[in-house]
A and B are shown apart, each in its own frame.
Chain A
């Protein structure tokens, strides 16, 4: 065993064990860690946002290069940013709708084009597979499963008509493909959660206690 001499590692270890204490039951140590975490996270986010985004992209150009490269237009986002804080004043909070409205215009436009190109067009393109590959029965079968499975899944999500007859049968096949997909997602989720625990255990056993053997 080779205990760490770094005070930061010791504090980190106690905070880790404090949060893990929740597994036994909710307790004051866990509550303390939880609230400290929320406070420090919020403080960290504000500092990063201001220093990395708001200051270099707006404040610095306005202060140092006001007339260069049409930087004076940055007065618009400055005004919009200030208007956001009108939410703290009941009589003036309608002003905060203007910057929110601006964001509500920009992001959906970005998402529409992104999803259309990346998720719709390219995915349909990726589904245009040969349904007969000479000499390769395995790939032929897999391509049929890919195309058929996709169509069955899309049919399952078509709710404008009752799922009866051929439509109902196809939707049922779609459910089976979806169940396989959910099972796969569950397996991967288990892997993810366990990995994160392994990471924490490695910190405690290696960085803090110096116990690990490989």
Chain B
């Protein structure tokens, strides 16, 4: 036992890396399925908020993320825009991360084609603007002055969808898909609190805990947290896809990391705490 504990304490961390890699690869390659995804009431709140919108409403979808968090945010973004377009709701895209523009373009273009929507009439991507929360505040003053052209360089005055859209008073809801800063928190502070626009958010798991107070206070109508939240929403929208596929690998990895915490404490049990001072 002592030898085993000594070996554990000295174990090369690359064995742990290998184990994590294999536990993620195995469910994906062999296709085994551990358990179905059950939507939470937070995901249902997100879904219901969009369901309540009348047809023809205009929604601002803020895709504030980049490829670094694509695995978590892209499935939510895709499912949200699918849900909006299926309900014939007009979509205005905006990104506060420069590397989020191509991702948003892909989402809007692919789903626009799937649902027969027209660019400039049913959806538009205003693109990226530097400035973080300053852009949100500036949009509250005037959206056309903040975004004189869309992501293709086309003046927005020429776009039928943007006719009459002056500021947030003409926006029926904000869907914030966010990776951190700038993102959901800033939208809540600068827009929801000031202009009282309803908002739902899909965020990375790292930042999800800090948005529960906003959800409880009614500043958010729904919240998707991480890939699990994205999977729940995919189930609700009726199109299980990327996030749902990843949940089995997620389950195994979580169990492994919980086991590593216990194993680490067993391995270092009995070792003295480092002396203070």
Contact = CB atoms under 8 A, between A and B. Distances in A.
A191 B219 contact: no
Contacts of B29: 205, 211-213
B66 to A, nearest CB: 10
B189 A184 contact: no
Q: How large is the interface on B (under 10, 10 to 19, 20 to 34, 35 or more residues)?
A: 35 or more
A190 B14 CA distance: 18
Given A196-B69, A198-B71, A201-B28, A118 B206 contact: no
B61 interface: no
Contacts of A56: 148-149, 153
Contacts of B218: 126
Q: How large is the interface on A (under 10, 10 to 19, 20 to 34, 35 or more residues)?
A: 35 or more
Nearest to B72: A195
Interface string A113-149: 1110111011101100000000000000000001000
B189 A118 contact: yes
B257 A190 contact: yes
Nearest to B231: A195
Interface in B226-247: 226-228, 242, 245-246
A125 B69 CA distance: 33
B130 interface: yes
Contact of A189 (B20, B127, B185, B206): B206
A88 interface: no
Interface of A: 23-24, 44-45, 48-49, 51-54, 56-57, 60-61, 106-107, 110-111, 113-115, 117-119, 121-123, 125-126, 146, 181, 184-185, 188-192, 194-202, 205, 211-214
